[in-house]
Amino acid sequence: MSRFEIKAKDGLSRLGVFTTTHGKVTTPLFMPVVHPAKSVISPSSLVEEFGFQMVITNSYIINSKDKFKAKALDEGVHGLLGFDGPIMTDSGTFQMYIHELPEEEIDPLEIVTFQREIGSDIGTILDVFSDPKVGRLKVEQDMELSLERAQMSVGEKGEMLLAGTVQGGVYQDLREKSASALASMDFDVHPIGGVVPLMERYRYADVVRAVLASKKHLPVDRPVHLFGCGHPVFFSIAALLGCDFFDSASYAKFAEAGRMLLPSGTVHLEQLRELPCECPVCSTTTVENLKGLSKDKQDLALMKHNLYITAAEMRRVRNAISEGKLLELASARARSHPSLYEALQVLMDSYDQIEQMDPVADGTSIFYTGPETARHPALIRFHKKLMDRYPYRKTETLVMIPSRGSRPFSDTDPTIIDEARKRKPEELILLFVTPMGAIPWELEHVHPAQQCLFPDRIDEFTMQSAQKRLQQFIDSVSFKSGVWLSRDAPTDKLFEGINALASIDRVAGASDVKKRLPEPRSEIKDWTARKMTALLSVQWGISEVSRMNLDSMDFTFSRATGKLRHVSRNGEILFTVVPSTGLLTPTYKGGLEILSAGVHEDYIVKMDEDAAEFVAKGKSALAKFVAHANSELRAGEEVLVVDTEGELLGVGRAVLSGSEMMAFNRGVAVAIRHSKRP
């Protein structure tokens, strides 16, 4: 049974809670490596002074030293370390590799049994570490042996949680094969092994490929552990990949070498003129004092500095996940070294894999950081929904307005928007051309249309992406004539790249646009219905909006912003528009409306009979009671929760994606807003 529960997401990252015998921990988390004899900072101090939640130690070292082994068997590993918090133990795989120990040095079954006997919260199998210098055949043999040992070991875990390590070197197909095989076994955590030499050689791009290949096949309800990742500069990228656990002894090893970890890289104490951070060590001494300490005292001071920096960066990562800002943090860290930037580019090349797990945003702004912003999951999702679901595809006139999107379109283009309000979509489609792509007027407030902040100078890749998305939209619309309002915006240059069958005139002002528009053929009673049709179609994939009888609905607008706030009928609210996202949240009555209108199956979550009564009373829909959820459902979407007969129980916000709802047996699947019996 899974011990993992997701609280928030961003990209592939998960802000979660993992339950162990000795307490719960919040992910992503870093586990300092603790040597049973050499650690000068106790595990308790690591928790109390630095804020770490779990430690990792080596069961091979404990088992190979009689004095450690006897005490561990008598008092448990927690008694040996003098620590009552969660402890993970490694099996000695890395020591076998580093010291070139003979294969018979460690018995794979005995070491798992030993970890269980000493009370480890999470034990680890004895896998086979492949040197990056060996060829594919040797790596494949190592991987197969690791899988054999995994199959043998999993039956020995008892009540202990067990980690099954993914191997496969730099070969993505072998990583996928390893992960797929391990997924069918009863493991609780999945480390990605064999990556330390890659990180030491700055081959971060290869680490990214290895993790992504593994993540494709690992169960979503099991945490992923990036073995040996100890440098804060890589935490944000690794978390964005979906790594939940990190561990390393780098904090001590770097200190012994006179090196200081920073979120932006590593510095050597001897080369410093001043101390570079505000941690308790650096803020209470000087570089001269540090250099003048004895070796032991200097090592301890640098070790503490490294731990403070490591803990702070992990907190920063968790905050970024909760705020939907992890990509921006990872982008900033990637500028610290060319190899990190290459790793980020490789990661963003897999934008489809990221988008599948990335939650629908709650209105968080998206800051431009470089070419990677063009492949932000929110931008990709918006464009895909636009192309698949935008209901208006034929018009007489297509008007395009280049814009940076930094101000509300209603402020910058009120004259032309007023003309759009007078006409049906068959007469006029109004399109804003931004660096994120094409934004139809009806969707001007839908996230991330006006939550993306771009500068005036934009890189070529982003402009090419905007050009491609614009062209795809133009190709999907049939129009007789086009008008391009030229203005001082970075996207104005995209006009030169348009390939259209119909003629498109480039004009200089709003008055010139009006001159090219035919008079409205009929008076529009309420232009809001036009926007509602587009919004209902794009948000929920409703193909028969006409069933909802929009003409009978009343619309309330904000006095301050002029934005739509509420949609009601006969005095009863059906929908509320979230100001930060421009999306609709239905009441129970609104849910009935969209259910009868043919909402797309992606947005229907079916519950077991055992949970139906609770959900109908407004209780959260728990993952373990979800009978069916479509794999295309994304976390953050507004969904309908029904019983096995299809009767609406409630409406709410999906906390998990559809695939996660089906996989997890812990946590909330849908946070119910309105229910059948409030």
Residue 210: in which H helix or E strand, if any? helix 204-215
305, 372, 509 from 228: Cα distances, Å: 19, 27, 60
Q: What 3-state DSSP class applies to 92?
A: coil
- 90 tagged catalytic: yes
d(CA 458, CA 489): 11
d(CA 320, CA 328): 8
- Beta bridge pairs of residue 416: none
What is the number of residues in the chain? 678
Q: Where does 422-527 have alpha helices with state H? A: 460-476, 510-515
Residue 497 CB partners (closer than 8 Å, separation 6+):
467, 471
CB 72 within 8 A of CB 82: no
**Catalytic site residue from 10, 84, 90, 352:** 90
CA dihedral 373, 375, 379, 384 (to 10 degrees): 170
Closest by CA position to 112, among listed 120, 103, 104, 100? 120
DSSP-derived pairing of the beta strands 554-557 and 564-569: antiparallel
Q: What 3-state DSSP class applies to 342?
A: helix
Closest by CA position to 538, among listed 371, 380, 391? 391
* CA triple 357-362-367, angle to 5 deg: 85
Q: What is the 3-state secondary structure (H, E, C) of 137-206?
A: HHHHHHHHHHHHHHHHHHHHCCCCEEECCECCCCCHHHHHHHHHHHHCCCCCEEEECCCHHHHHCCCHHH
> Other CB atoms closer than 10 Å to residue 22's CB: what's the count?
16
- Beta bridge pairs of residue 163: 124, 189
Residues catalogued as catalytic = 90
